[in-house]
Amino acid sequence: MSILDKIPHWKRGREFLGVEVPLVCGAMTWISTSDLVKAVGEAGGLGVLAGGNMPADLFAAEITRLEEWGGPYAVNLITLAPNYHEHLRTVAEMGVPMVVFAGSFPRRAEVVAARDSGARVLCFASTRSIARRMIDYGAHGLVLEGSEAGGHIGHVSTMVLLQQVLFACPEVPVFVAGGIATGRMMLHLFLMGAAGVQMGTVFAMSAESPAHPAFKERFRRARSREAFATPQYDSSLPVVSVRALKNRGTDHFGRLQLNLLQQIQQENVSRLQAQYEVEKYWVGALREAVQNGDVDQGSLMAGQSVGLVDEIRPVREIISGMVREAEEEYRSVRRMLLGED
């Protein structure tokens, strides 16, 4: 039994996720495979399978592997992906235990469909009003992901979201993501009311991560300021910002946006088609970096926490280290507040 079990929100997160440590490995396309999900689960945390735009048969096969394994897991669905509705039907039919909606905000009927299948539902919330809407739709819990995170992000920092949403929604478990890489920070988030934390960049660098060695090495050497967010050039092509390490791939994305904007103005493509082209680019570019090790042209989606991690470690060591550091910080806080030895 951990000393952290004395913290009510730690216990709440454990019970909600059904794990020993309320720490979530966020879904990362091409990285969060069933193998990484298993490694996280066997180390006491919760791994989330990345649906991305995976072909339906491969998606179902990955879920089958996790069902046969028998440990705790969740599945991430990208609402903007072309295969999204097919993925949603698959998780409902296969009885997935937990569904995380990401990419954009799901409709009420989609949340209801996941709930009716027996799944617990987590939704992202970037403002207080969206948090309330997701709870009203039936979400069992929320994920707050600040703009410090990697991949597709919102525009608000974790610091502000804690005040806007965490403190305003005590009725559901809230899991915090974005910029987290230490047990000390994790401990203070639990003391503020979080039911758990979600990390991605740290696990992308883990020994069990399927990412190419060149990808991990680039992360290991990166500084926090190198992970920057891509801009939106014009409102006629709404794009979700992506935080990644700057390279030729991010420069290419800028040119792609300009080209698509021109095609929209000339009515050669619709806005929706252009948005799909954007997502198609990111999926392909990320695959080039993760699977083929092209760290120059591929997408290096990374959170600003990349500057806090400078070694590649096994998942079990990452999680046990986070817990150990959180326990030490808890004792330090008690000494400071209560004068205990």
Q: What is the pLDDT of residues 7-49, one digit of tens each?
A: 999 999 999 999 999 999 999 989 999 999 999 999 999 999 9
pLDDT in tens, 231-279: 888 888 888 888 999 999 888 888 888 899 999 988 898 888 888 788 7
Confidence class for position 341, pLDDT limits 50, 70, 90: low
What is the predicted pLDDT for the residue at 81? 82
The CA–CA distances, whole Å, from 15 to 8, 67, 100, 140, 238 equal: 11, 20, 17, 13, 38
Mean of pLDDT values over 145-167: 92
Residues 41 and 72: beta-carbon distance below 8 Å:
yes
Q: Which of 79-83, 92-96, 179-183 has the lowest mean pLDDT?
A: 79-83
What b/e sequence results for 33-65 when a residue is b if at least 16 CB atoms lie within 10 Å of its CB, and e otherwise?
bbbbbbbbbebbbbbbbbbbbbeeeebbebbeb
CA distance linking residue 12 with residue 172, whole number of Å: 10
pLDDT in tens, 133-142: 999 999 999 9
What is the predicted pLDDT for the residue at 242? 87
CA distance linking residue 271 with residue 193, whole number of Å: 40
Residues 300 and 245: beta-carbon distance below 8 Å:
yes
Is the pLDDT at 93 greater than 90? The verdict is: yes
Mean of pLDDT values over 114-118: 97
Mean of pLDDT values over 160-176: 95
Is the pLDDT at 130 greater than 70? The verdict is: yes
Share of the chain above pLDDT 90, in %: 76
What is the predicted pLDDT for the residue at 206? 97
The CA–CA distances, whole Å, from 328 to 13, 184, 186, 222, 331 equal: 20, 8, 12, 28, 5
Say which residue, 119 or 103, is predicted with more confidence. Answer: 119
Is the pLDDT at 122 greater than 90? The verdict is: yes
Q: Which of 61-75, 199-213, 219-233, 274-288 has the lowest mean pLDDT?
A: 274-288
CA distance linking residue 32 with residue 189, whole number of Å: 24
What is the predicted pLDDT for the residue at 153? 86
Average pLDDT, the chain: 93
Neighbour-count burial of 282, counting CB atoms closer than 10 A to its CB (0-12 exposed, 13-18 middle, 19+ buried): buried
Confidence class for position 282, pLDDT limits 50, 70, 90: confident
Say which residue, 200 or 284, is predicted with more confidence. Answer: 200
Q: Which of 97-101, 167-171, 274-278 has the lowest mean pLDDT?
A: 274-278
In terms of residues, how long is the chain?
341
**Tokens 């030729």 — which residue?**
248
Confidence class for position 54, pLDDT limits 50, 70, 90: confident
